[in-house]
Amino acid sequence: MKRPTMADIAREAGVSKGAVSYALNGRAGVSDETRRRILAIADQLGFRANSAARALAGAQAKVVGLALPRPPATLGVEPFFMELISGLEAELSTRSYALLLQTVPDETGEIGLYRRWWSESRVDGVLVCDLRVHDQRVTILRELGLPAVVIGPPSSAGGLASIWSDDQISMTEAVEYLVALGHRRIARVGGIPRLAHTAIRTRAFGEACERLGITEATTVSTDYTGENGAQVTRALLCRQARPTALVYDNDIMAIAGLGVAHELGLRVPADLSIVAWDDSPLCRLVGPPLTALSRDISAHGVQAARMLLSAMEGSPVEDVHDEPAHLSPRGSTAPPPQGSRP
Amino acid sequence: MKRPTMADIAREAGVSKGAVSYALNGRAGVSDETRRRILAIADQLGFRANSAARALAGAQAKVVGLALPRPPATLGVEPFFMELISGLEAELSTRSYALLLQTVPDETGEIGLYRRWWSESRVDGVLVCDLRVHDQRVTILRELGLPAVVIGPPSSAGGLASIWSDDQISMTEAVEYLVALGHRRIARVGGIPRLAHTAIRTRAFGEACERLGITEATTVSTDYTGENGAQVTRALLCRQARPTALVYDNDIMAIAGLGVAHELGLRVPADLSIVAWDDSPLCRLVGPPLTALSRDISAHGVQAARMLLSAMEGSPVEDVHDEPAHLSPRGSTAPPPQGSRP
DNA sequence: AGCTGGGGAAAAACCGCTTAAGTCGAGCCG
DNA sequence: CGGCTCGACTTAAGCGGTTTTTCCCCAGCT
């Protein structure tokens, strides 16, 4: 089977390739009459512009890239990325952009990938996630002039357009809620510490606790995996004065934590309250359903894709401040057990 | 910043573009001496062949496509795809192939996507999953001559190379295990019925039950979502003579089912045994940990990518029969409650 | 001396599309 | 009626690779 080319259409319509190009791209230079004829023929032949040729001729590749900065093994369980991807996809596909995906082992690898994508002209723009506090990637991207949108706090975006939700607000809400329930010993199972949003959450957690007079407020770091979350939870719950409430940095760890609580014979929420961050359907499916900081990640993705598309068109793009995750109280939180109240 | 091109290298080295091409691609036609010089210069300039130009010149695009045939919303929770993707990625990235991802609403959309990918020369090959019993997609792909590997049973692959694990064996193992524990009323919460592997599992479930003299063996269909799984579970457990064991077609629904059991005051495994299919880390994290049919999806992905790569090279590719999912007994299965034994 | 053969490399064609520049006839104006 | 503008196309030059063809030079043979 042979692919039809513009030359075929031109021959068929008795015009030049150039005219066909103008007609197909909706540009001036051909009469409406001719345009219609060309479009009809193109349609009938099932013509599709060869993406390589188009990209080569200086137009866009119609591809955006997303580097996934987590080891492949941990990606599977983390619903965040898949939801983000489906949001991105939803927007990109309507504009017939494709999404190029690649996992990278670390920041260096990611920078190499951007360099390669750039020098191969493989993508028109990229989305950057998991921002570090001082992130080299933004520097490189600006240097390369590769359009990019950062999914993360603008404070670390180094001038690139960014979309984020204010984790400080959400964290504060969670802590206030727990304190209002009567909790005084609250611990946090945090994510990877070098990530910018983790830092923000850690600070917010600390500040909120201090403001509310909670002196026993620990944050323990993890790598976001369920195993690690379970491990840390176990350690926390075996302490002398165990916390009465745990705040997790993602939902997977929260679910793992729930499992550990069961295992140790602690009742949730009677003996232990649990708050998850990110509210995948899973949170509603476990027993008890988890109180979670929920936000619409997929919508986040849609928005990010939109921003990137307009950045690629060259229009100046404003940082977007998406709605912060808000607390959805469910069955996993309650006042602390009697004995542990002051 | 300007991208170095082959012309730049040629000028620098005082040779022609053609010589550079030969040198870089390790083909005959240049002396070792010249080749070394060219390679050195290319390296020093950080040269990367423009992927569009390369694709245009008839070489490969170095991209493989994966259409995700599920509504974006359900993708997030389903660990299967993400694990598959990370496996694919692991293999593809070592050979510097990129993975192009797109969600499609239905089979028609997917066929359209393949057509478009083909006519745009966007991909060198595709991976097909979620096979239907009589799947149109395989016909189209053969017609287009687009290299493809089917992730699913060869019976529905219509001659395309396929990689699969024998779900019949696994299903039989699960049923035998439950029956050996003493269960007599077993129900199955199945996946989307028009998918080929679902059909295979349904048949295997029915046959195994019949062979073992289990007369009350129902299969209920779902759309694989946790919600649907919960719903169906609720209905099954409210029946007159409720089943003492449930076999789920994925892990998400199994977890949802566990939640429902808790909600109804049934103890797992004392009152109800649960078997999950696909063993994401989640299964080990809930309480009790779920007995599951586990297989290495990521390895499956690696293998699939390898097959596709060799199919794209034109070598004949044998169907691969991956190891079937095998039962990992955990805390969610036990003999049925006393009263319900015959 | 003349012919052949072959290796190393230059030259040029080509892939399919975009786009600047050029052509040509029609319409308008002074 | 000459000169101009303008719309509708055509021409042709890239884009950055690959591949085919051509060319040159020199060794080897008759």
Residues B336 and B209 both lie in one domain: yes
Residues A288 and A186 both lie in one domain: yes
Residues A142 and A280 both lie in one domain: no
Residues B197 and B247 both lie in one domain: yes
User: What integer pLDDT is reported at residue A342 of this predicted model?
Assistant: 47
**CATH number of the domain within which B31 lies:** 1.10.260.40
3-state secondary structure of A252: helix
Question: The tokens of B137 are what?
Answer: 């997609």
Contact criterion met (CB below 8 Å) for B299 and B265: no
Nearest nucleotide to B38 (CA to C1') is C9
Instruction: Please tell me the distance from the alpha carbon of residue A190 to that of residue A250, in angstroms, as a whole number.
Output: 8
What's the one-letter identity of residue A20? Answer: V
Mean pLDDT score, B178-201? 94
User: Got the DSSP string for A39-107?
Assistant: HHHHHHHT----HHHHHHTTS---EEEEEE-S-HHHHTT-HHHHHHHHHHHHHHHHTT-EEEEEE-SSH
Residues B180 and B144 both lie in one domain: no
**CATH number of the domain within which A85 lies:** 3.40.50.2300
Judged by CB atoms closer than 8 Å, whether chains meet at A47 and B89 is answered as: no
Residues A194 and A104 both lie in one domain: no
Domain with B185, as residue range(s), is 167-294+327-340
Q: Is A263 in the B-facing interface, judged by CB distances under 8 Å?
A: yes
Instruction: Please tell me the distance from the alpha carbon of residue A78 to that of residue B162, in angstroms, as a whole number.
Output: 28
Domain total in chain A = 3
How many angstroms from the chain centroid is the CA of residue B255? 20
Residues A131 and A118 both lie in one domain: yes
- Give the residue on A whose Cα is nearest the Cα of B55: A52
Residue A56 falls inside a structural domain: no
Q: pLDDT digit string (tens) for A30-54?
A: 899 999 999 999 999 989 999 899 9
Question: The tokens of B57 are what?
Answer: 């010149």
Q: Residue ranges of the alpha helices (H) in B120-265?
A: 136-144, 167-181, 196-211, 226-237, 251-263
Residue B18 CB closer than 7 angstroms to strand C? Answer: yes
E-strand ranges in A121-184 read 125-129, 148-151, 161-165
Q: Is A289 in the B-facing interface, judged by CB distances under 8 Å?
A: yes
User: What integer pLDDT is reported at residue B339 of this predicted model?
Assistant: 67
Interface of B with A in 77-136 (CB under 8 A): 77-79, 81-83, 85-87, 89-90, 93, 98-103, 115-116, 118-122
User: Got the DSSP string for A73-85?
Assistant: HHHTT-HHHHHHH
Q: pLDDT digit string (tens) for A305-336?
A: 999 999 988 888 899 999 999 999 999 999 99
- Give the residue on A whose Cα is nearest the Cα of B81: A76
Residue A54 falls inside a structural domain: no
Low-confidence stretches of chain A (pLDDT beneath 70):
1, 72-73, 339-342
Nearest nucleotide to B51 (CA to C1') is D17
What's the one-letter identity of residue A176? Answer: E
Q: Three-state SS string across A153-190, please?
A: CHHHCCCCEEEEECHHHHHHHHHHHHHHHCCCEEEEEE
Instruction: Please tell me the distance from the alpha carbon of residue B182 to that of residue B233, in angstroms, as a whole number.
Output: 21
Question: The tokens of B114 are what?
Answer: 């393949």
For the entire predicted model, the pTM comes to 0.87
**Nearest C-alpha neighbor of A96 from the set B50, B113, B81, B73:** B113
Contact criterion met (CB below 8 Å) for B191 and B249: yes
Q: pLDDT digit string (tens) for B97-139?
A: 889 988 888 888 899 999 989 988 889 999 999 998 888 999 9
User: What integer pLDDT is reported at residue B341 of this predicted model?
Assistant: 46
